[in-house]
């Protein structure tokens, strides 16, 4: 779509071009471009039209001195993202640069050009400030031309920003030595800032807030009726989920009268929605908590699983040799602490990449395929390097052949907290001919990463205060949910 718009440089009419398109990594985006034929002024902008990510993301990219290839990595910065260089104490706030697709060098060079544009005024009005800015620009130029090493941190609460990785989608597995990816839960302030959560003073539709900060909702509101809690309304809650994968799996392991419904807010549209929880014990496994969210307004649904009870003393590796159609239909519980491996494809999906999910073996492979295609837009598009593009196309073809069972393959779930599970064709999983379950000692790095060292220190401190033997503390902690 093209239309005339005012040029803010020469005050003549220029042309704005807008297109709604779908890019694999960004889902749907609106690309805007403005050009003025009178003065030559040009600019472009990218806005996200799809959904926000489920979590915030924080990318940390180390750029060594002399490594110009790292400075040419592609960067996607959304409107909500903050870019910073800790070594220079330099930060680009979200409102400073609009959503854009650029490179590391282009992102920082644009910020430097914006500072240089006002230098003549600073020299006349505040010479000391101008001298400080000039010294900073010299340091920034040294970083960009490769003379100085630095770190670029891209923090996006919306979860829609991205820095290109040499390790593909598996950034969290540290296969890219220069790039680190951290996912985090948004704070209420961040959620409200990106427009997903109504302000505490009023609901998303302007209604006054009731107890607990939730909006007052009329009982006859067909879309946002008061969310019932407890067994009396659990059947109605499950009835609204009929036909979904979450519904069938929850009903398989849960009695409908024991599902708890709690009022919540939809993470997609911000409207009041319903969260369902159920704690159950899976035979030959452990207690788990099944959680499902659904929104009657926008139709958004999500499911998640968390381990219940105490932390297992040892990690667990579940290996399934997939050779029959029944193997593809096996139930899978993948916790957010688990790593998924397919040795035949040299594929490893690291901890936290896809979160916790309930699915089948076939559904898990399909989810991995969709996640990789969504994050590898730079390697699959028209501008991708031909060798990289062919490599990824071959990989996805092999992944599809595994899903179609054109050849036998192996699925490995490696979980340091033993919260993951694959259903067995026999009553005792240990006697399943195509599945092996092994336990192993967690490493010190795992204990530190999951906070187990902190829990042990707290248990030791509690034992020292009470005088109880240290050996009894873990059992008591397990009963208390530690």
Residue 221 pLDDT greater than 80, yes or no:
no
Residue 335 pLDDT greater than 50, yes or no:
yes
Helix residue ranges, H only, 213-339: 234-239, 245-253, 325-328
Least confident of 141-155, 232-246, 282-296: 232-246
Phi-psi region of 452 (alpha: psi -120 to 50; beta: other; left: phi over 0): alpha
Query: In the prediction, which pLDDT does 134 show?
Result: 92
Residue 103 pLDDT greater than 80, yes or no:
yes
Query: In the prediction, which pLDDT does 237 show?
Result: 41
pTM (2 d.p.): 0.46
d(CA 377, CA 164): 10
The more confident residue out of 220 and 47 is 47
Q: Tell me the CATH number for domain 315-376+403-449.
A: 2.60.120.1040
The more confident residue out of 378 and 464 is 464
CA distances in angstroms from 157 to 29, 151, 197, 339, 392, listed in the order given: 18, 19, 13, 24, 29
Residues 6+ apart with CB under 8 A from 206: none
Q: Tell me the CATH number for domain 53-191.
A: 2.60.120.1040
Average pLDDT over residues 25-34: 68
pLDDT in tens, 431-444: 888 999 999 888 88
- Domain layout of the chain by residue ranges: 1-50, 53-191, 315-376+403-449, 451-482
Domain 1-50 grouped into CATH 2.20.25.420:
yes
Query: Strand ranges (DSSP E) for 174-227?
Result: 179-184
pLDDT in tens, 417-432: 888 888 888 777 788 8
pLDDT in tens, 380-398: 666 667 777 788 888 888 9
Query: Strand ranges (DSSP E) for 299-377?
Result: 301-307, 315-322, 331-334, 339-342, 347-349, 357-360
Residue 234 pLDDT greater than 50, yes or no:
no
Q: Is 15 exposed, middle or buried (0-12, 13-18, 19+ CB in 10 A)?
A: middle
CB atoms within 10 A of CB 393: 13
Torsion, Cα 95 29 24 26, to 10 degrees, reads 20
Question: Do 315-376+403-449 and 53-191 fall under one CATH topology?
Answer: yes
Q: Of the spans 126-140, 168-182, 451-465, which averages the highest pLDDT?
A: 126-140
């Amino acid at each position: 779509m093209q239309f005339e718009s005012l040029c803010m440089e020469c005050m003549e009419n220029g042309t704005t071009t807008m297109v709604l398109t779908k890019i694999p990594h960004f889902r749907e985006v609106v690309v805007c471009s403005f050009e003025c034929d009178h003065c030559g002024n040009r600019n472009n902008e990218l806005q996200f039209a799809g959904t926000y990510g489920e979590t915030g993301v924080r990318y940390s990219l180390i750029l060594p001195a002399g490594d110009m290839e790292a400075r040419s990595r592609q960067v996607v910065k959304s409107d909500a993202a903050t870019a910073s260089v800790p070594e220079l104490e330099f930060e680009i706030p979200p409102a400073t640069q609009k959503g854009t697709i650029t490179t590391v060098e282009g992102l920082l060079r644009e910020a430097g050009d914006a500072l240089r544009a006002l230098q003549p005024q600073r020299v006349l009005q505040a010479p000391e400030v101008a001298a400080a800015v000039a010294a900073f620009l010299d340091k920034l130029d040294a970083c960009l031309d490769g003379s100085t090493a630095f770190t670029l941190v891209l923090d996006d609460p919306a979860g829609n920003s991205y820095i290109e990785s040499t390790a593909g989608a598996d950034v969290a597995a540290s296969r890219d030595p220069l790039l680190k990816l951290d996912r985090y839960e948004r704070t209420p302030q961040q959620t409200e800032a990106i427009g997903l959560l109504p302000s505490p003073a009023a609901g998303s539709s302007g209604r006054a807030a009731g107890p607990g900060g939730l909006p007052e909702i009329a009982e006859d509101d067909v879309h946002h009726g008061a969310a019932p809690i407890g067994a009396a309304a659990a059947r109605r809650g499950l009835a609204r989920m009929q036909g979904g994968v979450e519904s069938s799996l929850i009903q398989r392991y849960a009695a409908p009268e024991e599902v708890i419904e709690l009022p919540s807010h939809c993470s997609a549209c911000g409207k009041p929605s319903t969260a369902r929880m159920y704690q159950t014990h899976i035979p030959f496994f452990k207690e788990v908590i099944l959680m499902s969210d659904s929104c009657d307004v926008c139709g958004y649904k999500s499911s998640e699983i968390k381990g219940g009870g105490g932390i297992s003393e040892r990690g667990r590796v579940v290996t399934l040799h997939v050779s029959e159609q029944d193997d593809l239909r096996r139930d899978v519980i993948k916790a957010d602490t688990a790593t998924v491996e397919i040795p035949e494809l040299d594929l490893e999906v690291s901890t936290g990449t896809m979160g916790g999910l309930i699915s089948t073996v076939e559904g898990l492979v399909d989810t991995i395929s969709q996640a990789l295609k969504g994050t590898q837009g730079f390697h699959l598009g028209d501008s991708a390097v031909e060798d990289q593009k062919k490599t990824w196309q071959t990989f996805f073809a092999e992944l599809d052949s595994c899903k179609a069972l054109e050849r036998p393959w192996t699925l490995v779930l490696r979980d340091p907290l033993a919260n993951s599970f694959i259903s067995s064709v026999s009553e005792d999983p240990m006697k399943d001919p195509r599945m092996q379950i092994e336990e192993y000692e967690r490493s010190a790095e795992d204990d530190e990463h999951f906070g187990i060292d902190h829990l042990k220190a707290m248990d030791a401190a509690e034992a020292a205060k009470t005088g109880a033997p240290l050996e009894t503390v873990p059992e008591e902690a397990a009963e208390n949910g530690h």
